[in-house]
Chains A and B, each alone.
Chain A
């Protein structure tokens, strides 16, 4: 248990601006689990929106800033698979800082994998009597391998499910398409608006036909997109980040 390790919280820019409660839940959850967490105040963004739009070369300043902000910590934890994947796979190489970058790649974790693989959380005590549908966001799911991919011939696993199933009363609902993309995709949500919305509607339908009450997942970007469509169409669904469920249930 990394109780005496220095853990930094990385809150993605859009979570900081629009979903402070997800940041708070992540922080409180880690604290409840005995971690000493600090939030480096100078942090901004990982650079992903620019890189995925084809401008990785314009993220040197952002990448360097991220590196300087977080390098001194033993672990960096973020409630977003997408941003973590960006740091690991797509942050451009900074000349002269390659070793530090490699070290950062080893130290940064998405929240659920930090809980299951580093903290080895096995016995959460909590109660959450709801039917929950899990949206496996692609960058975490296939990029960070937070769960088995439906395309591959591999034994089933899901780090999100592993945590949620520790809560009493929670009913994990199986979907028809277990890991299909919701259509958010960063700038894709705007440049391919029609497709993006259709994909989101189809994901929501899968959850709704299986009678879920709460749609959860590890990335607020996908949830923001799905919730935006559900609200517009007055669909009766509640949306929570997995950190919010876990934090609420064990308090």
Chain B
């Protein structure tokens, strides 16, 4: 289904759509306020952008350095060229340890690889331990936002869900009460899991360590109670030095939620005695994107979600309207690289207002890439009625006389057509908007009479 139809569906519930817009605007507002308390904010963004440019230009070197240092720290390093390889690797580690239940902290990469359904098909119980993720998991839904996975749900929805799944009191919508129930439920799962899976926010080439950022401490809880830690990491998550974290951690939490720092920034360097750490480095289309000159710097993304919170489209259409793992503006420039046909409407789900580009902590030129994807998508679509009308338009605008004639016809038609036709279903503009009144003469006509 295309973005426009899903967006109009979302807007059917006007009150909820308004609430969604205002809730995310509140997050953006918090982000605006806190970013303005950092005088060097714009320099930080520039620095982060340059560090990531350097990483993308030398990705192979940094990855090899990372692998070498991680191995020296007794971490097992695995390479996966795509989602399937990634999933198989994770499963084989689980099989090796006869593990049938895992806990997982938030990882967009494992969403991208569809790890959960794969493991479940193979008889492994998967429990997402981030509260929002657990909620959407109960509902068999994917996250609708990369930082706030259940932002499309209201307290009442969660109260009903927890009543059904966790036997909480019917009608009790108190967030503290509901969170407490989730804690008790998750604690059992933490205690029972031999293997914990996490994502990775930053892999440090210089030291071979990696950093996982969570607000709930659920990654740490899972990892420290389990014998095996499997960390799944996209190859672009590498940074050269530990000190670069000083730039990224300052930007990440402020951009994501308006907090000064994420609650838990946990560094994993080597396994405790008797335990194992595995890291799976995943490509899954990233090197293809790296080869696309116009789109490669989409790989700078640190997954803060600020472009979603600021996007006037996302706020009013919700994460599911995109139909992609990563929704919102950044998703609309990443997804067409994976499947240009399936995601062909996404780069058009934008007014090119540029807010995403200005909010991005690593200065990805998101709206310019949306524009560039539009050019690629229409090329891939070949000749159709739209492409023909564009060629005609170019012919009209290249010749002043043709422009004059067609303009006169358009204006004339608007004057004589009855409202029932002008505002019929055929005219999408006129469904909820009046057309401008047709003036008696064009500017050109006026100019001829009055100035020449």
Shortest beta-carbon distance from B249 to chain A in Å: 18
A93 at the B interface (CB under 8 A): no
Residues of A within 8 A of B99 (CB): none
Asked if A228 and B443 make an inter-chain contact with CB atoms under 8 angstroms apart, the answer reads: no
Interface bits B417-452 vs A (CB < 8 Å: 1, else 0): 000000000001101111110110111111110011
**In the assembly, what is the distance between CA of A152 and CA of B43, in Å?**
11
Shortest beta-carbon distance from B310 to chain A in Å: 6
**In the assembly, what is the distance between CA of A198 and CA of B313, in Å?**
10
Residues of B within 8 A of A228 (CB): 429, 433-436
Total contacting residues, chain A, CB less than 8 A: 76
Interface bits A193-236 vs B (CB < 8 Å: 1, else 0): 11101111010000000000000000000001101110110000
Asked if A50 and B390 make an inter-chain contact with CB atoms under 8 angstroms apart, the answer reads: yes
CB-contacts of A2-27 with B (<8 A): 11, 13, 15-24, 27
Asked if B378 and A188 make an inter-chain contact with CB atoms under 8 angstroms apart, the answer reads: no
Asked if A202 and B21 make an inter-chain contact with CB atoms under 8 angstroms apart, the answer reads: yes
A45 at the B interface (CB under 8 A): yes
CB-contacts of B25-82 with A (<8 A): 25, 32, 35-36, 38-39, 41-42
Residues of B within 8 A of A152 (CB): 42, 358
A34 at the B interface (CB under 8 A): no
Asked if A13 and B407 make an inter-chain contact with CB atoms under 8 angstroms apart, the answer reads: yes
Would A17 and B407 be within 8 Å (CB), given that A142-B354, A188-B351 are in contact? yes
Residues of B within 8 A of A179 (CB): 355
Would A44 and B38 be within 8 Å (CB), given that A52-B374, A232-B434 are in contact? no
Beta-carbon nearest neighbor of B32 in chain A: A150
Interface bits B1-26 vs A (CB < 8 Å: 1, else 0): 00110011001000001000100010
B371 at the A interface (CB under 8 A): yes
Would A153 and B36 be within 8 Å (CB), given that A16-B442, A194-B11 are in contact? yes
**In the assembly, what is the distance between CA of A16 and CA of B397, in Å?**
13
Residues of B within 8 A of A19 (CB): 436, 439, 443
Asked if A181 and B351 make an inter-chain contact with CB atoms under 8 angstroms apart, the answer reads: yes
Asked if A18 and B439 make an inter-chain contact with CB atoms under 8 angstroms apart, the answer reads: yes
Asked if B316 and A138 make an inter-chain contact with CB atoms under 8 angstroms apart, the answer reads: no
B211 at the A interface (CB under 8 A): no
Cβ-neighbour of A192 out of B21, B348, B448 (below 8 A): B348
Total contacting residues, chain B, CB less than 8 A: 73
Residues of B within 8 A of A192 (CB): 3-4, 7, 313, 348-349
Asked if A90 and B316 make an inter-chain contact with CB atoms under 8 angstroms apart, the answer reads: no
Would A58 and B391 be within 8 Å (CB), given that A17-B411, A64-B398, A153-B38 are in contact? yes
Beta-carbon nearest neighbor of B31 in chain A: A151
Would A61 and B411 be within 8 Å (CB), given that A142-B353, A142-B354, A195-B8 are in contact? no
Residues of A within 8 A of B349 (CB): 192, 195
Asked if B390 and A18 make an inter-chain contact with CB atoms under 8 angstroms apart, the answer reads: no
Would A47 and B394 be within 8 Å (CB), given that A18-B438, A138-B352, A199-B316 are in contact? yes
A39 at the B interface (CB under 8 A): yes
Would A153 and B42 be within 8 Å (CB), given that A55-B378, A228-B436 are in contact? yes
CB-contacts of A122-162 with B (<8 A): 138-139, 142-143, 149-154
Would A185 and B352 be within 8 Å (CB), given that A16-B443, A195-B4, A232-B433 are in contact? yes
B89 at the A interface (CB under 8 A): no
Mind listing 8 A-B residue pairs with CB under 8 Å? A23-B443, A41-B447, A52-B374, A62-B397, A138-B354, A142-B355, A192-B349, A228-B433
Interface set of A (CB-CB < 8 Å, partner B):
11, 13, 15-24, 27, 39, 41-45, 47, 49-62, 64-65, 90, 138-139, 142-143, 149-154, 177, 179-181, 183-195, 197-200, 202, 224-225, 227-229, 231-232
